[in-house]
Amino acid sequence: MASTQRYRGRGGPSSGRAPRGSACLNCRRRKFKCDGARPICGPCIRSNREFDCEYTDGPTRSPTQVLEDNISRLEARIYELEHPETVTPSVTLYDPRSAQPVAGPSRVSAPQAPNMPISGPFSGQPEPAAFLAPPQSVQTLNPNFGSDPSPEVIQMLIGHFLPHASQVGFFLHPARFVARATNPQAFTLALALLSAVCLWGARLSRDPALLAHEPVFLQRAVHSVATALAHPPAHALVHAIQAEVLLANYFFTANRLLEGRYHCNAAVALVLSCRLNKLRAVLDDAATAAAVRGVELPPPADAVEEGERINALWSVFILDKSWAVTVGSPSHFNGSPGAQVDTPWPLDIEEYEYGGMHPGVQGSRTAQAFLEDVVPDAEGISSLARLAKGAALFERATRLASQWTPAMVYVEQFATDFLVLDSVIDQFVASLPPIETAPTQNGARTLLLTYTFALAATIQVHGTLKQTGGGTAQEKDVAAAHAAAAALDGIDLAQLPFVDPILAILWTSVCRVLIGEVARVRVLWTSALLHDGDTAAATLEAEHDGHLTALHKILDAMAALAPAAPLMAVQAAKIRQEFEGTPP
């Protein structure tokens, strides 16, 4: 209450509803009745969303509006990379490191944003410092605030980070990363990457003394990623991609989805600009390459360096496929010419130490061939490859489900597409090893996520097929929800303080199926008690209790993981609220 009164004294109405057009951006989006209090309104204070309370009636654009503009510009650049046939060198662009303009590709129309030049990330010569300008909301912060962490603190933060690194998209070789991070020569590791790792190390430490520095590491990471490639050695390009992936997952974990989307898009744009999606491609169209290539990486020094590049592509692919569903935007790896993935399925990073891929291994339409069930899926059995397949199945199923309407003309073809996808999902799940056989807890976490991706895809498929009358197996979505809950039996949650944040979204989908079943069975149970006798009622009671047990198992897992992941806490609260609304 004191906090509310403190803000009330700074202007704006103290009660009632704000005049038309003067509500804050968050209240408008969430359809709340804003009271117009400045700088933070009452509804945003009460819902603990002070960070999102912004007004758009001032002389300048709000931080969120600027960030949305920047996202639009990133997406426009990605569109160019996806569709190189539409790009013509008709616009003169300014290279900030040169006194002369340089030629570069034209753009599709996109809103202009401060500190985000019209050029793409690599036009003629790389200009990623301009391309990766941070969101305005953090641009005014001083990147030199506070003292630099000592080598001992950096080592401590890395120690907190590495056990959970795979859960936030870390794809670099761990031993080489540590060697670079602890090397007294500062130029062996990009500052953006080191800052992002320190940021995550502080978040995962649970140490109040380290957590107090989390905002400093965040501002440094966001600012340094904007200038990470100003004068890059070869490895800095891959390090910048890694930093963007870590930042995207940090913001997604913090339930700051717009900022997460921004950094996810930046990672996608860098990957496509470097053509990491065309490594070892069977066919590489020279015209396409000339149209989209703005920077050409030198040949990898060895198999491990090649592996880092391959795994960078697939880690960004997973990030994009995972969160496109959540933020409601299409995946950028959509099969268009510049974005088609022809890179072979990845190995786990340790495997590259022993020679990596055979020289004859090549790729073509790698993800699409898997989704279309074109060839038997005999490749891609590393944990990272399986995770990429699971993410691809989830995104594909969700995208198809979003296209369904009762009035659609081609219902039969739509159902056929779903059934083909359902077959691919079933084959994929059958190929996965049991979670309890994973040799490490980290491997078990990754396998849990892979299973949950595939089972959430099944839920999407069969939830939609029920509406189409597609003649699918009865209650397969319910069985998938129970399987997702049962998958937790192979995990020791006490040893896992953190998991990939996308599990919060996947578990929400699973819980909604279980809540629907609890509500359905309660109605039947009540009817059976009145009309069908004790035997039928006892059967329904057992079914009800089974659904309830599965639901609480997932909610308990979400509660255990919530301290390190605000998104997990938010999604768990939503599920509990929905469950409380079911008829008794």
Q: Is the pLDDT of residue 110 over 80?
A: no
Task: Take residue 489 and report the two structure tokens written for it.
Answer: 């039996």
Question: Is 207 buried (19+), middle (13-18) or exposed (0-12) by CB count in 10 A?
Answer: middle
**What pLDDT does 557 receive?**
96
What DSSP assignment string belongs to 536-576? HHHHHHHHHHHHHHHHHHHHHHHHHHGGG-HHHHHHHHHHH
The pLDDT, as a whole number, for residue 53 is 80
Are residues 269 and 74 in contact, defined by beta-carbon separation less than 8 angstroms?
yes
Asked if 374 and 340 touch (Cβ cutoff 8 Å), the reply is no
Give, as one character, the DSSP assignment of residue 246. H
Q: What's the mean pLDDT in 524-535? A: 73
Residue 136 has a pLDDT of 37
Measured in degrees and rounded to the nearest 5, phi and psi for residue 197 equal: -65, -40
Q: Is 45 helix (H, G, I), strand (E, B) or coil?
A: helix
Which value, in Å, is the radius of gyration of the alpha carbons in the chain?
25
Question: What are the b/e assignments for 87-111, b being 16+ CB within 10 Å?
Answer: beeeeebbbeeeeeeeebbebeebe
Q: What number is the average pLDDT over the span 305-314? A: 97
What would the mean pLDDT of 384-402 be, rounded to a whole number? 95
Give the mean pLDDT of 98-122: 29
Contact at 8 Å (CB) between 173 and 251?
no
Query: From CA 405, how far away is CA 168, in angstroms rounded?
Result: 35
Which residue in the block uniquely carries the two structure tokens 């670099």?
Answer: 172
CA 440 to chain centre: 24
Residue 196, both tokens: 């992002």
Q: What is the mean pLDDT of the chain?
A: 80
**Residue spans of alpha helices (H) in 118-274:** 128-131, 136-139, 151-161, 174-181, 191-205, 208-211, 214-226, 234-253, 257-273
pLDDT for 52 equals 72
pLDDT tens digits along 419-445: 899 999 999 999 999 999 999 999 999
The more confident residue out of 58 and 347 is: 347
Q: Does residue 249 carry a pLDDT above 50?
A: yes
Are 390 and 449 a contacting pair, CB within 8 Å?
A: yes
| pLDDT value at 12 more than 70 | no
Report d(CA 236, CA 192) in Å as an integer: 9
Whether omega for the bond prior to residue 126 falls within 30 degrees of 0, making it cis, is: no
Question: Mind listing the pLDDT tens digit for each residue in 553-580?
Answer: 999 999 999 999 999 999 999 999 999 9
Please determine, for residue 403, whether its predicted confidence score (pLDDT) is greater than 90: no
pLDDT band at 406 (very low <50, low <70, confident <90, very high): confident
Higher pLDDT among residues 523 and 267, named by residue: 267
> Quick check: helix, strand or coil at residue 231?
coil
Over residues 337-366, mean pLDDT: 92
Of 187, 176, 148, 318, residue with least CA distance to 248: 318
The confidence band for 526, taking pLDDT boundaries of 50, 70 and 90, is confident
pLDDT per position as a tens digit, 132-191:
333 333 333 334 445 678 889 999 999 999 999 999 999 999 999 999 898 766 556 788
- Does pLDDT of 95 surpass 60? no
Query: In the prediction, which pLDDT does 367 show?
Result: 94
Residue-level length of the chain: 584
List Cβ neighbours of 437 (8 Å cut-off, separation of 6 or more).
none
Per-residue model confidence (pLDDT) at position 271: 93
CATH class, 2-52 region? few secondary structures
351: pLDDT confidence band, cut at 50, 70 and 90? very high
What pLDDT score was predicted for residue 141? 34
Q: Is the pLDDT of residue 268 over 50?
A: yes
- Backbone dihedral region for residue 459 (phi beyond 0: left; psi -120 to 50: alpha; all else: beta): alpha
Question: What band does 77 get if pLDDT is binned at 50, 70 and 90?
Answer: low
Locus of tokens 């690194």: 165
pLDDT value, residue 524: 85
Backbone φ and ψ of 385, nearest 5°:
-65, -45
Query: What are the beta bridge partners of residue 103?
Result: 92
**Number of neighbouring beta carbons within 10 Å of residue 532:** 14
Distance (Å, rounded) from C-alpha 336 to C-alpha 450?
26
Domain with CATH 4.10.240 in the chain: 2-52
Q: Which of 39-43, 449-453, 468-472 is predicted least confidently? A: 468-472
pLDDT bin (cut points 50, 70, 90) of residue 278 is very high
Q: How confident is the model at residue 234 (pLDDT cuts 50, 70, 90)?
A: low
- Beta bridge partners, 463, equal none
Q: Write down the pLDDT at residue 530.
A: 65
Q: In the beta sheet, which residues pair with residue 281?
A: 363
In the block, tokens 């600009």 appear at 273
Q: What integer pLDDT is reported at residue 421 of this predicted model?
A: 94
Q: What is the pLDDT of residue 133?
A: 38
How far is CA 227 from each of CA 133, 139, 572, rounded to the nearest angstrom? 8, 12, 37
* Distant-in-sequence, close-in-space partners of 474: CB < 8 Å, separation ≥ 6: none
Place 19 in a pLDDT band, splitting at 50, 70 and 90. Answer: confident
CA 571, CA 504: separation in Å to the nearest integer?
6
pLDDT at 232: 60
Give the per-residue pLDDT at 497: 86
Question: Is residue 487 over pLDDT 90?
Answer: yes
CA torsion sign for 551, 553, 557, 562 is positive
Question: 101 pairs with which residues across the strands?
Answer: 94
Strands 101-104 and 91-94: antiparallel
Q: Which of 60-69, 116-125, 485-494, 498-507 has the lowest mean pLDDT?
A: 116-125
Partner residues linked to 123 by β-bridges: 125
- Dihedral angle over CA of 339, 344, 350, 352, nearest 10: -110
Q: What is the pLDDT of residue 125?
A: 30
* pTM, rounded to two decimals: 0.78
Sorted by sequence, the CB contacts under 8 Å of residue 358 that are 6+ apart come out as none
Residue 64: pLDDT band with limits 50, 70, 90: low
Closest CA to 96 of 266, 201, 230: 230
Residue with more model confidence, 371 or 86: 371
